[in-house]
Amino acid sequence: MMQDHIIVSFAWEDFNGPWLSRQYITTSLAKQVPVLYVTPEQKFDAVINGFRDSGHRKPLRARQTEIRDNLVHLDPGGMFPRFYETRATLNNLTRRLRMDQINRAVKSRGWPDKKILYVWNPDFHDVFGHLDETLSIFHCVDYFPHYFKEGSPGRETSIRNLETCLRKADIVFTTCKVLEDKLAEHVDRKFTRLLHGVDIGAFNEGLAADTPVELQDIPHPRVAHIGRINNKIDVQLMADIAERNPQWSVVLMGPIVSGLKEETKAGLARLEKLPNAHLLPGKRPDELPAYYNAIDVGLMAYHMAFWVPYGFPLKFFEFLGAGKPMICSPLDSMKEFPEFVDIADSADSWIAAIEKALASDTPSRQAQRKELAALSSWDHRAGEIIGHIENHRGQGTGP
């Protein structure tokens, strides 16, 4: 089936922004089938504001960026913007024009015209059925309604959009049972578990790389958070760990997002004052493995609020790929891997778990972690996806 199809993937994140599962999976899929990676169109009020203030003006014309062979990022621009929900007629018109825009992009590449729709965010709920797709997929990695405050219009809209995706998609991929159970409160249907993965080739190369310059003067043991620093990260907890254990180097490496809450800002301010705490900027995906390899214990310290309890950390398989022990907040998804991750829920239990990880790590345990990672590459996940697509089409089943 796949030889005469392309995948049209709709995701919020710019392809060259911080890499998440969207970019990793589409990159691996593109090794087997052409992929058009489509990001959101501009909203009408943003287009108008751009005319009023040239400093906020974004391009109106659509732009195609070739990421690699068979993988193209399409930015729809602002020529056919999204209007408020109350302007249904205008939204229907501009959506149709954007679908034509996608079809022209596909044709210009000489790609097949049969399409598989691959949606990553409920905000794209309105594209189902409008690309003449032969099959549709909703890949759900978070419980999106909890991005918004309880009782807010944003949460109500997110629930409606989520339920639309769950009803219309032929296949719904999820990352863990706790998320599946939550989604089942909205719709009675089959879910297909698809775990995150790791760029195992890059990690194998990283294991042979020299220690990055930024880490060379930071003494061992290095206990580290690697990833975006946002409000879900319990920065205050990591400041507590650093204050109580001056013999450890506590490293936070990743881009600091905007809109941080005062509690998160205060935690970062505490860390900046500590001689054994080190804040490093984010790195390109190809640079990350060498940093993973140079630490001693991985930290996944989350506030158990918002959408977090329903998630599966992307970092799990990456820490495994470097053979590192890891500690995590009490996520149900991580409790399924007790031999690979320790759970902690207080500063005392975090410190005890880190002490245990430092004292008990061995080459044989490192090898076990790497062995699981080797079976969990993004290329392997892409193969699973294509297998599910072919099985679904072969069975002729619906959602």
Q: Which residue has the higher pLDDT, 86 or 96?
A: 96
Q: Please give the pLDDT value at position 85.
A: 64
Q: Which residue has the higher pLDDT, 15 or 52?
A: 15
Q: Please give the pLDDT value at position 139.
A: 98
pLDDT tens, 96-130?
A: 888 889 999 999 999 999 999 999 999 999 999 99
Q: Residue 169's closest CA among 132, 207, 208, 125?
A: 125
Same domain, 129 and 155: yes
For residues 154 and 145, what is the distance between their CA atoms, to the nearest angstrom? 8
Same domain, 253 and 223: yes
Same domain, 95 and 23: yes
User: pLDDT over 70 for what percent of the chain?
Assistant: 91
Same domain, 115 and 222: no
Q: Residue 20's closest CA among 285, 389, 369, 247?
A: 285
For residues 376 and 280, what is the distance between their CA atoms, to the nearest angstrom? 28
Tell me the residue range of the domain where 90 lies: 2-197+377-395
* Window from 175-179, 302-306, 340-344 with minimum mean pLDDT: 302-306
Same domain, 160 and 205: no
CATH number at residue 36: 3.40.50.2000
Mean pLDDT (whole number) for 51-72: 77
Same domain, 191 and 271: no
pLDDT tens, 218-265?
A: 999 999 999 999 999 999 999 999 999 999 999 999 999 999 999 999
Q: Count the domains in the chain.
A: 2
Same domain, 358 and 381: no
Cβ proximity of 172 and 389 under 8 Å: no
Q: Please give the pLDDT value at position 18.
A: 81
Same domain, 312 and 344: yes
Confidence category of residue 397, pLDDT binned at 50, 70, 90: very low
Residues constituting the chain: 399
In one-letter notation, the amino acid at residue 220 is: H
